[in-house]
Amino acid sequence: MFKVILHTQWKWSRLLIAASLVAAFALPILTVQGFGIADPTVWEARSILRAAESRSVWYAVLAAGIGLLLATSVWSADHRGDHVYALSLPVARWRFVVLRFAAGGLLLLVPVVAFWAGALLASAALSLPYGLHAYPTALALRFALATVVAYAVFFAISSGTTRAAGVVLAIVGGLVVVQVLLHGADVDIDFLQDLFGRAVSWPGPFGVFAGRWALIGV
């Protein structure tokens, strides 16, 4: 059954996978453009390091984007068919969900491997200043983890009903409104920033997206 699900998911999302492959391969190469300075000074080397760190935000953005798009494509056919196909199968809901998740997760390997190849190529093409090193494999592992986390988050949201998604959105929107009202009333409570901080720092769900994960380091 896994092979069938994998095959159908491949058919539904192959264009998306192809686009992800191109983007994931190109991004590491694009982010090291301009780093090949011959015989740089210490300050130039430092600016390369800073630029590498600041550009690394695009890796997180791409990982989140790929996770989002693939997770939504995995469930789109079920939503369109009112889940009749899934209900007709002689499997429990949890098993079907795991199969769907695993099939999508396997397809994620395509952009992840492309990213790794791009990072390796970018590293090989660079002549880095003394003291700086490239970490393509470690970066690719981080990218893979971030992609899987993003995929899991949006997979959970997409698997629910429109009402469930609406409830999630309403809660987030409600929190923002309350924060704005508190700010307007000069109440010095910034719980939204606190919540966001907890979400993007360890062990929050989005901790994998935060921090420095540049291709180049000391």
Partner 1 sequence: MSNSPAGANSVTLARRGGTALQRIASCVLVGLCTLGSLGHGQAPTVADYRLRVTQLSHIWEAARAAEGSVRGLTGPLDTIQLGSLAVVAVAARRAVVAAAVQGAWDRLDSALGSDTDLLAGKTFYTRLAATHVAISDSGVNRVFMDAPGVEQLRWNLLRSVMGALLQELDEDTRAWFGGVLPIEGVLEPPGRSAYIELVLARSPGASECLRGDLALCRAVLGFADGGIRPDSAFAVSATVRHHFARVALEQGRERAYARLLRSADVSLEQRLAAAAGLSADSLLEVWHATLIQAQPELTLVTRPIVVSGFAWVLVFLLLSSRSSRWRLG
Of 10-18, 106-114, 180-188, 210-218, which part binds partner 1 (CB under 8 A)? 210-218
Residues 177-206 that bind partner 1 (CB under 8 A): 202-205
From the list 131, 145, 159, 161, the residue with the least C-alpha distance to 41 is 131
Rule CB under 8 A: choose which of 11, 84, 88, 161 binds partner 1. Answer: 161
In angstroms, the CA 130 to CA 41 distance is 10
In whole angstroms, the minimum distance from the beta carbon of 200 to partner 1 comes to 12
For partner 1, which stretch binds (CB under 8 A), given 15-23, 25-33, 80-88, 173-181? 80-88
115 binds partner 1 (CB under 8 A): no
Give the residue among 159, 17, 33, 47 at the shortest CA–CA distance from 96: 159
What tokens appear for 33 in the block?
Answer: 């453009």
Q: Which is nearer to partner 1, 13 or 158 (CB)?
A: 158
Please report the DSSP string for 104-163 in residue order.
HHHHHHHHHHHHHHHHHHHHHH--PPTT-EE-HHHHHHHHHHHHHHHHHHHHHHHHS-HH
- Stated length of the chain: 218
Q: What are phi and psi of 161, to 5 degrees?
A: -80, 170
Which span sits near partner 1 by CB under 8 A: 9-17, 26-34, 135-143, 171-179?
135-143
Within residues 53-72, the interface with partner 1 by CB under 8 A covers none
Residues 103, 76: Cα–Cα separation, whole Å: 14
**Do 140 and 116 meet the contact criterion of CB atoms below 8 Å apart?**
yes
101 binds partner 1 (CB under 8 A): yes
The answer to whether residue 160 forms part of the interface with partner 1 (CB under 8 A) is yes
Q: Does residue 94 belong to the site contacting partner 1 (CB under 8 A)?
A: yes
Among 49, 63, 66, 122, binds partner 1 (CB under 8 A): 49
Q: Which residue has the tokens 């704005």?
A: 180
Q: Binding residues for partner 1, per CB under 8 A? A: 42-43, 45-46, 49, 83, 86-87, 93-94, 97-98, 101, 129-132, 135, 138-139, 141-142, 145-146, 148-149, 152-153, 155-156, 159-161, 164, 202-205, 207-208, 211-213, 217-218
